[in-house]
Structure 1
Amino acid sequence: MRKSKLISSIIAFVGTLISSQAHSIVQEHQLVAGDVLVKKEILWKTVKILEVDKSENNQVTLHAVFFEESKEKPSLSNLNNVLIKIHHAPVDADGFKQSWELLGNSTVTNNELEGFFEYLKQTDFQRYAEVTNQNVDDLISAANAKYKEAYSFSQQSKFNEAIKLYSEAVDLFPMFVEAIDNIAFAYMDIGDNEAAIKYFDKSLNIEPNNFTALYYKGHCFINLRDRDAAIAVFEDGMTRFPEKKAAFEEMYLKLKNMRSNG
């Protein structure tokens, strides 16, 4: 699954935090979970390592939580009183060796792990289940139960109730494309085409070959009277899904003809 733009922006932001000309104090230390690092600039910056991952080529990625900056140098004893600024960011271990001081090591709390767990849920569901002591099959089964209940509400035209339950299913299993699509359809049914587009995009981010999501995304733009955007979507569909070209081409030609006729 592709990483979200939000994760990319956080990584970029964190990169600015770990670049400095300060003297290295963590140079020879092998960082482990629970290590707390600090750096003095105008204010003190504080980072705590949540988990350490090593790739096959020995590149080390740190999963870290970033705390709010402080005027006074923090200590391990008062760290629980410092607010969290970024709940999770994966960063290259080498960046910390150039500028950060090792304050010490303290047990990683469940509150500090919340962002890491959410990151795993979105990017590595199997690992998420393992580290949170849950069973993948049980999670998927619970998500399916929510989906069936939501579908029943959809059939009764109770779309807001359906959206709530479909969303709960996706929260249990973020890659539940069918539930995400049905959230989009429910939003279409209540006339919120902008929200529907957001969920069709989410579906396509998980499953790029989901031609249904792309096709109905085009219809959302029609409903919004954004003819140019709709034409672009159907034109994209003709290229991306040649086996479904006829369906996309039909809408594309209709819209082009309407535009030509004013």
Structure 2
Amino acid sequence: MRKSKPMSSILTFISVLGFSTTPQAEPITKNYQFVAGDVLVQKESLWKALKVLDVDKIEDKQVTLHVMVFEDSKSKPSIKSLEKRPVKIYHAPIAAENFAQSWELLGNRNIENSELVGFIEYLKHTNFQRYAEVTKQNIDELISLANSKYKEAYALGKQSKFNEAIALYSEATDIFPMFIEAIDNIAFTYMDMGDNENAIKYFDESLRIEPDGYTALYYKGQSYINLGDVDSAYTIFKEGMSRFPEKKSAFEEVYLKLQKIKYMRSNG
């Protein structure tokens, strides 16, 4: 009966032939062309690993990688071990040039739908057209549905059914996160309810999406007035005068009134 060769002998034989029993990572060069599915690793105090979910190119010059980051590990990971490693960050956009030093290409693996959760949420709030494409939804149908929710909410607001209106406005913005009118109307509804803190929160969200939204800035200032915060309101109306010269008179009218109040307070 023939005896099997010891495992150590087999591994030695494989090594002699030039094969490796562990995956060999390749250093990332400056001109490397990243593709979705690339798995990259880097050794610092611990091993870092990430997976490329998508590659954005702007005129073949600036390249941004959308990546999923795994939890660090003490030992060098393999493609197989990363399948069970916890995810630290589900999505982060990072310039490709940041990987030209000390990062290595471990290999390439197919992207699972479950790995795209963070990337899809990012697209939903930054590039709605691309979000619809990636999720295979009709953008016109999505916007139509959001607009339908908006109209229902508006009608409820007119009936002073404020909580119901906010709920439907929120459904509209969940469908279409950049729906400025719905976000503003949530803020206005909170103002109608006397909840100026939440009104300011939604005016801030509106201004984050559309920094040139002078209406949101104006009523954010009014909300601070309602709260009795003259200093914050004064700052906002002063800002509005300089940022929106075409609307200067509207901001200036309130600004001058606040200026008088501040003067009276400072002079007893």
Q: State whether TM-score is above 0.5.
A: yes
Compute the displacement of 1:197 (Å): 1.4
How far apart in 1 are the matches of 2:254 and 2:233? 9
CA RMSD of aligned residues (A): 2.0
Q: Deviations over 1:187-236 (max 9, x none)?
A: 22333322211211221233333222111101111122210110111122
Between the two proteins, what is the percent identity of the paired residues? 64
Is the Cα contact below 8 Å between 2:26 and 2:105 reproduced in 1?
A: no
Q: 2:106 aligned to 103, 116, 121, which one?
A: 103
Compute the displacement of 1:240 (Å): 2.7
Is the Cα contact below 8 Å between 2:26 and 2:106 reproduced in 1?
A: no
How far apart in 2 are the matches of 1:218 and 1:64? 39
Supply the AA of the counterpart residue of 2:263. S
Q: 1:261 aligned to 244, 259, 264, which one?
A: 264
Supply the AA of the counterpart residue of 2:190. Y
TM-score for both structures, normalised by structure 2: 0.82
> Which sits farther off after the overlay, 75-84 or 135-144?
75-84
How far apart in 2 are the matches of 1:253 and 1:60? 49
Structure 1 counterpart of 2:211: 208
Is the Cα contact below 8 Å between 1:196 and 1:217 reproduced in 2?
A: yes
Gaps of 5+ in 2: 1-24
Gaps of 5+ in 1: 1-22
Is the Cα contact below 8 Å between 2:172 and 2:182 reproduced in 1?
A: yes
Structure 1 counterpart of 2:27: 25
Q: What secondary structure does 2:27 align onto?
A: coil
Structure number with larger C-alpha Rg: 2
Structure 1 counterpart of 2:38: 35
Q: 2:92 aligned to 89, 92, 95, which one?
A: 89
Structure 2 counterpart of 1:15: none
Structure 1 counterpart of 2:228: 225
Q: Deviations over 1:149-205 (max 9, x none)?
A: 222232232322222221221121122110010111122233332221121122123
Is the Cα contact below 8 Å between 1:35 and 1:49 reproduced in 2?
A: yes
Size of the aligned set, in residue pairs, is 240
> Which sits farther off after the overlay, 132-141 or 160-169?
160-169
> CA distance change for structure 1 residues 259 and 30 in 2, over 3 Å: closer, same or farther?
closer
> Which sits farther off after the overlay, 190-199 or 164-173?
190-199
> Which sits farther off after the overlay, 215-224 or 200-209?
200-209
Structure 2 counterpart of 1:187: 190
> Which sits farther off after the overlay, 150-159 or 64-73?
150-159
1:1-262 maps to which residues of 2 (within 5 A)? 25-27=27-29, 29-262=32-265
Is the Cα contact below 8 Å between 1:147 and 1:179 reproduced in 2?
A: yes
How far apart in 1 are the matches of 2:107 and 2:194? 55
Q: Deviations over 1:115-172 (max 9, x none)?
A: 1112222222111111111111111001111111222232232322222221221121
Q: What secondary structure does 1:174 align onto?
A: coil
Is the Cα contact below 8 Å between 1:222 and 1:230 reproduced in 2?
A: yes
